[in-house]
Structure 1
Amino acid sequence: MSPILVFGVIAGYFALLLVISHYTSKQADNNTFFTANRQSPWFLVAYGMVGATLSGVTFISVPGEVGNSNWTYLQFVMGNMVGYTVIALVLIPLFYKLKLISIYEYLKDRFGQNSYYTGATFFLISQTIGASFRLFLAALVLQIAFFDAFGIPFWVTVLITIALIWIYTFRGGIKTIVWTDTLQTTFLLLAVVISIFMIVDQMELKFTDVFSIVANSEMSTIFDWNWRSNTAFFKSFLAGIFITIAMNGLDQNVMQKNLTCKNKGEAQKNIFWFSIVFFFSTVLFLALGVLLYKFAMDQGIAIPQRTDDLYPLLALNHFGILAGVVFLLGIIAAAFSSADSALTALTTSFCVDILDIQKKEKNQKKTRLLVHIGFTILMFLVIIAFNAVNDSSVVSAVFKVAGFTYGPLLGLFAYGLLSKNPVRDKWVPLVCILSPVISVILDFNSETWFRGYQFGFEILLVNAAITMVGLLAIYRSKAEKRLSE
């Protein structure tokens, strides 16, 4: 694809985002930015969340990973479905009952101020690193596809990218994102559908042939019953449940969208319908993966060493201009749907949880604007730091470590919901710091200490369990609580 065409695609896409931002941010205030005035149609949120959940990494990786692990990823997604059910039936009613803006306000009511700050801080750290990492990958794609051709340095690419995100989110916040997510979901799914059409056309197949190719392929094997395997069913299924609860139900970035619905019932409908659409979208991605490998083998195209490169290679070089354009739009949509909502969630959490902005009578909008600018600059600096390291293994390790911060959040909420026992609030930060440290040590030494066993996603459960044991250790009797009050 020529750089001029790439520029046209990017410019056109952002023009659409700016138009949506203009219409959704009229008469916007802090309530609009934080909660969309709780007026979002549930079906709009449900559809848009598909694009937000399918990150740029997923968009590229899932079809390519079919060559390594078949359809075993679907076991994980089955667990996701159970996790979303828990979110809909347990967490949504709780958050609506408490009328929360930030979900970490629950920790203040349940444990105390220190626990509240701890939960919010863990979210801020993990979300800043995670969102920056995903945007870093998107910026690399844009750098290769367009900016390199004009000799523009990477830091300028990042600056332009993150500035554009700030421009269309700084006024409308979550209200704008609920609407832009629908656009992003559409481009994601359109990219997959058009890619499948191109494969069918170039291989001169009928659509009935597609079903038989996918169904009869060895790559379409779903279940892995070998308990030692990294893709073993129960390991993947349980991981799908608890990662969904931790990284969706206990993540302000995701839950902020759910809390824009008018009431609990509509938010629950949103979750249930979103999870169904997400499941079938994943099946579509997996089916595309089988067809990509079939196409490459039939056309004599060498399979890249990194399976993540297979879909970009074919879409940009072998499927024609239309497929290439839509693929590029899908990549941009997936990356920015994660980054824009993360920036809004970070701003919301810091304003509500750290600054307690609701209690300020003056300059609330100015404060929110300054915080939004601050996190935009912070994400820019983190991305530049990732690039300066110039070592993908180091960057991936940092991203993985950031994932450990969800363990304490899962432990805090699980303990709060499953037990009525109070804790010594001043010791909660220490427990939540030690839990991921111990988990990282266990993960690093697991092969040596546990006869070759390697932790996968289940390290999150270990992390959460350590947190809960720590909270039990700092148990405070009800008599102590009454005396302190």
Structure 2
Amino acid sequence: MSPILVFGVIATYFLLLLGISYVTSRGSDNATFFTANRQSPWYLVAFGMVGASLSGVTFISVPGEVGNTAWTYLQFVFGNIVGYVVIALVLIPLFYKMNLVSIYEYLKSRFGKNSYLTGAGFFLVSQTIGASFRLFLAALVLQLAFFDNFGIPFWVTVLVTISLIWLYTFRGGIKTIVWTDTLQTSFLLLAVLISILVILDHLSLDMVSGVKMIQQSDLSRVFDWNWKSDRNFFKTFLAGIFITIAMNGLDQNVMQKNLTCRNQKEAQKNIFWFSVSFFFSTLLFLALGVMLYQYAFDQQIVLPERSDEVYPFLALHEFGNLAGIVFLLGIVAAAFSSADSALTALTTSFCVDILDIQKKEKGSKKTRMLVHIGFTLLIFLVIIAFNALNDSSVVSAVFKVAGFTYGPLLGLFAFGLLSKTQVKDRWVPYICILAPIVSFIIDRNAAEWFGGYQFGFEILIVNAALTVIGLKLLKSGKA
């Protein structure tokens, strides 16, 4: 693809985002930035959340991973759906009843200030690393597709990318995000659909024949019953439930969008319809994965060794300009739909949870904008650090460690909701730090200690359980 064509596509895309930002941010204040004045249409939030939930990692990884683990990822998605039901029926009513801006305010009312700051702190750390990692992958694609052709260094690519995100979010915040997510989800799904149509055309298949090909492929196997496997159905299904509750229901980034709906009923409707849309969107990605490998086999194409490079390689080098363009739009949309909302959520959590900005009238808008700039710079520095490591396995390990921080959040909320026991609040931070450390040690030594058993996503459940046990030991004796 011509670098000028790539630049034109990305520039046009960002002009659209800036146009949406201009319209949605007029007359904005802190309430607009944090909650969109609780006026978001539920169907808009539901559709936009599909793109944010899939993310750039999913956009690249899920189709490629089909070559390694077939459709076993779908077991995890089955658990996701159950998790979303729990969010809609348990967490949404709680958060609306308490009229929360930051969901971690619940921990303050339930346990005390130390628990509250611990929950917010874990979110800030994990979301900073997670958002940086996802944007890092997108920046790498943009570097290869455009910036390398002009000898522009990677740090400039990252600076331009993160600056553009800041530019269209700094005024309207979550209100702008709700609308831009809709555009981004549209481009993401369009990229997958056009890639599928291109492959069908190359293989001389119609849609019905394509579906039959996918059904008959060994790569469309869904279930894994081997108890030692990290893809075992029961482990993966349960992990899907708890990871969804922890990384969606207890994540300010995701829940902030739900809390912009007009009322509890609309927020619940949003969750139910989003979960259905998410399920069918994931099916599209898995179907694309089968077709990518079938196409490569049919055309006798040697694929990259890393599964994450399979889809980008074929889209940019084999499918023609149209598919290459929509792939670029898809990866940019997927990465930015998660990065822009993460930046807004980080700003919200820090302002509300750490600075208690709601109690300060004078200078609060200026403070919020400074915090927004601060997190923009922080994410920039973390991405540069990832690149300096120059080792994908190290970067992935850092990202995995960030995932362990959701265990204490799940444990805190589960203990708070399922019991009435009060705890010694001052000791809670130590328990929440110790639990993921012990979980990480267990995860690294599981095969040796447990007869070949390997933990997958379900290590989160162990992490949360250790947190609950620790909180139980901190019982204060107060009813």
For normalisation by structure 2, the TM-score amounts to 0.99
Runs of 4+ in 1 over 6 A off after TM superposition: none
Mapping of 1:137-286 within 5 angstroms? 137-286=137-286
| Distance in 1 (alpha carbons) for counterparts of 2:208 and 2:400 | 41
| Distance in 1 (alpha carbons) for counterparts of 2:147 and 2:326 | 19
The alpha carbon displacement at 1:453 in A equals 2.0
| Distance in 1 (alpha carbons) for counterparts of 2:25 and 2:361 | 22
Residue number in structure 2 paired with 1:364: 364
Residue number in structure 1 paired with 2:20: 20
State the one-letter code of the partner of 2:384: I
The alpha carbon displacement at 1:291 in A equals 1.1
Return 309-318 or 150-159, whichever deviates more.
309-318
Does residue 44 of the first structure (1) align with residue 44 of the second (2)? yes
Instruction: Name the SS for the 2:133 alignment partner.
Output: helix
Does residue 385 of the first structure (1) align with residue 403 of the second (2)? no
| Distance in 1 (alpha carbons) for counterparts of 2:144 and 2:315 | 15
Residue number in structure 1 paired with 2:425: 425
Mapping of 1:302-317 within 5 angstroms? 302-317=302-317
Instruction: Tell me how many residue pairs correspond in the alignment.
Output: 479
Mapping of 1:77-96 within 5 angstroms? 77-96=77-96
The alpha carbon displacement at 1:303 in A equals 2.7
Instruction: Name the SS for the 1:102 alignment partner.
Output: coil
Unaligned runs of 5+ in 1: 480-485
State the one-letter code of the partner of 1:294: Q
The alpha carbon displacement at 1:355 in A equals 0.4
Residue number in structure 2 paired with 1:321: 321
The alpha carbon displacement at 1:144 in A equals 1.0
| Distance in 2 (alpha carbons) for counterparts of 1:303 and 1:20 | 39
Residue number in structure 2 paired with 1:466: 466
Unaligned runs of 5+ in 2: none
Residue number in structure 2 paired with 1:346: 346
The alpha carbon displacement at 1:304 in A equals 2.2
| Distance in 1 (alpha carbons) for counterparts of 2:351 and 2:336 | 22
Instruction: Name the SS for the 2:101 alignment partner.
Output: coil
The alpha carbon displacement at 1:389 in A equals 1.3
The alpha carbon displacement at 1:268 in A equals 0.2
1:88-115 CA distances to partner (integer Å, 9 max, x unpaired)? 0000000000000000000000000000
CA contact (8 A) 2:227 2:453 kept: no
| Distance in 2 (alpha carbons) for counterparts of 1:284 and 1:388 | 35
Residue number in structure 2 paired with 1:454: 454
The alpha carbon displacement at 1:447 in A equals 2.2
| Distance in 2 (alpha carbons) for counterparts of 1:290 and 1:142 | 26
Does residue 290 of the first structure (1) align with residue 286 of the second (2)? no
The alpha carbon displacement at 1:451 in A equals 2.2
Residue number in structure 1 paired with 2:2: 2
Residue number in structure 2 paired with 1:434: 434
Instruction: Name the SS for the 2:18 alignment partner.
Output: helix
State the one-letter code of the partner of 1:212: K
Return 276-285 or 226-235, whichever deviates more.
226-235
Residue number in structure 2 paired with 1:398: 398
The alpha carbon displacement at 1:29 in A equals 0.3
CA contact (8 A) 2:185 2:333 kept: yes
Instruction: Name the SS for the 1:229 alignment partner.
Output: coil
| Distance in 2 (alpha carbons) for counterparts of 1:65 and 1:183 | 26
For normalisation by structure 1, the TM-score amounts to 0.98
| Distance in 2 (alpha carbons) for counterparts of 1:238 and 1:336 | 29
Return 277-286 or 225-234, whichever deviates more.
225-234
The alpha carbon displacement at 1:452 in A equals 2.3
| Distance in 2 (alpha carbons) for counterparts of 1:67 and 1:257 | 34
1:4-35 CA distances to partner (integer Å, 9 max, x unpaired)? 11111110110000000000000000000000
Residue number in structure 1 paired with 2:407: 407
State the one-letter code of the partner of 1:346: L
Percent of pairs identical after alignment?
76
Residue number in structure 2 paired with 1:110: 110
Residue number in structure 1 paired with 2:61: 61
1:43-101 CA distances to partner (integer Å, 9 max, x unpaired)? 00000000000111111111111111111111100000000000000000000000000
| Distance in 2 (alpha carbons) for counterparts of 1:447 and 1:218 | 28
